[in-house]
A and B are shown apart, each in its own frame.
Chain A
């Protein structure tokens, strides 16, 4: 019985092995400076081929750190906020919150960055704040949608079985809304990762550094270096989340 359970559990996380390996390989690729230098030199023969002030791996890790921090704040703010306004106690604030997060996303991130500058100063913090505002919408909207889509008969059965409102939320509503919530998190994460290239505009780091530097000195090799790396990260991040969704919601799969 116990063996069967742990077997089942290890089988359940098997889909995550491939993404872990892929992340390792991608970091290895970033660390292989020489390959990037030769490739970019071949593509752009008349320019300095590689941004030399920081290694590519370093830039990528910095970029991921900014993305992860902003993403974490998005979850910390967005999930409780959405769950609160989806419940009777916070329902009155729902339109307000929905509008605010929508405005947060329609507002251009560059503008947010420059407006935030006087308050948070120069550096990555301002970037993280801007990214937080920018990334909130998909998480909040999907959480609201996911919770609203829980079938009414399931809710009735849950209440009828004797779940208290809070137990029902944790054990029934959130698990059932999870697929939609996760896809919101996934959208938000990729959005933040891509937008984080703007961080250097207010003194933040990351893969935006060679891009901004390249634009300033008209060096396409620098721009390509940063852009290709961000694109690779975005694709891998998206795929990792897709795998994670499958692992966290096994009940949605149809088994033969």
Chain B
């Protein structure tokens, strides 16, 4: 869906991108990860031509992005940035309407669509539609930003540290909701972050960058298990074992309860990491797994978690 072919970007003598080639498959979430200044945001911005490469080509749906006028190209791409950039002089509804309006949708259609988008991101239109951005909390504003990006139903979403500026609990909630939405919408998403945990949580594939080059482009599990370069190994650091647990669903690790039910419990839908945290916190050797009704359906033992964490 998105293909970078030997993309180079120079600013004077400085090379921000030094020949990046990368392919993003349709419907996937690809996270561009790396320290600040590694070129990840620059790379993202070549897709909607806010940055024009010095060399190389970016293809979107098989077509060179330079074939379209920048405005037309951008109207077909959802764009979310860290500082959100809501238009302060427009109400929430008008903000969400921006792209459909630019595309010339008729009024009733675009308003219905904007309301639907607000509902989708968990903002009740009756409450929020007529508010101005300054009347929103950080998390609400970021939801509006997402609704605005989704309003014209673009196939591709570019997200530049979209959850970077909100407090940790809100960030986690926004991440969960993003995953829930993505499961339905199946957009092709290019997502920039410097937060390894966020990358591991959200990505289908992670592209770890450094100094304008791709260090490794792999599924999170592979990246964590098998770092290809010293830089990747160092960037991932000692938390990689724990992070791997956050990619493993509990479902496959459950053993039958033999008689006694452990005091602590985690939901069936949780990841192995959550069970591990509970075990650490309680100092227990096993934890009960409960279904949606809260009934214990099995247990997960500490030994199992230790085994899967160190597996290669």
Residues in A lying within 8 Å of B, measured CB to CB: 8, 151, 153-164, 167, 172, 175-176, 178, 249-251, 254-255
CB distance B83 to A153 under 8 Å? yes
The 9 closest A-B pairs by CB, nearest first: A157-B85, A162-B75, A153-B83, A162-B74, A160-B79, A153-B85, A251-B132, A175-B89, A251-B89
Partner of B71, one of A163, A249, A251: A163
Docked CA distance A106–B292 (Å): 77
Give 12 new A-B contacts, CB below 8 A, not counting A161-B99, A251-B90. A151-B85, A153-B83, A153-B84, A156-B81, A157-B84, A159-B74, A161-B75, A162-B99, A163-B98, A167-B71, A251-B88, A251-B91
Q: Does B86 interact with chain A (Cβ within 8 Å)?
A: yes
Docked CA distance A159–B50 (Å): 8
CB within 8 Å for A161 and B89 given contacts A153-B83, A153-B84 = no
Docked CA distance A251–B87 (Å): 10
Partner of A158, one of B73, B76, B87: B87
CB within 8 Å for A161 and B79 given contacts A156-B50, A167-B102, A251-B134 = yes
Q: Which residue of A lies closest to B45 (CB)?
A: A160
28 A-B residue pairs with Cβ-Cβ distance under 8 Å, sorted by A, are A153-B83, A157-B81, A157-B84, A157-B86, A157-B87, A159-B50, A160-B74, A161-B79, A161-B99, A161-B102, A161-B148, A162-B71, A162-B72, A162-B75, A162-B102, A163-B71, A163-B98, A167-B71, A172-B87, A172-B89, A175-B89, A176-B87, A176-B88, A176-B89, A251-B88, A251-B90, A254-B134, A254-B135
Q: Does B193 interact with chain A (Cβ within 8 Å)?
A: no
User: Chain A residues with Cβ under 8 A from B148's Cβ?
Assistant: 161
User: Chain B residues with Cβ under 8 A from A255's Cβ?
Assistant: 135
Q: Residue-by-residue, is B151-164 near A (CB-CB < 8 Å gives 1, otherwise 0)?
A: 00000001000000
Docked CA distance A159–B81 (Å): 12
Partner of A157, one of B73, B79, B134, B135: B79
Docked CA distance A62–B114 (Å): 51
User: Chain B residues with Cβ under 8 A from A250's Cβ?
Assistant: 132
Q: What's the minimum C-beta distance from B163 to chain A, rounded to whole angstroms?
A: 15
Docked CA distance A159–B71 (Å): 8
Q: What's the minimum C-beta distance from A148 to chain B, rounded to whole angstroms?
A: 16
Docked CA distance A173–B84 (Å): 17
Docked CA distance A175–B87 (Å): 10
Q: Does B210 interact with chain A (Cβ within 8 Å)?
A: no
User: Chain A residues with Cβ under 8 A from B98's Cβ?
Assistant: 161, 163
CB distance B81 to A160 under 8 Å? yes
Partner of A163, one of B90, B91, B102: B102
Docked CA distance A178–B135 (Å): 20
User: Chain B residues with Cβ under 8 A from A158's Cβ?
Assistant: 85, 87
Q: Which residue of B lies closest to A179 (CB)?
A: B89
User: Chain B residues with Cβ under 8 A from A163's Cβ?
Assistant: 71, 98, 102
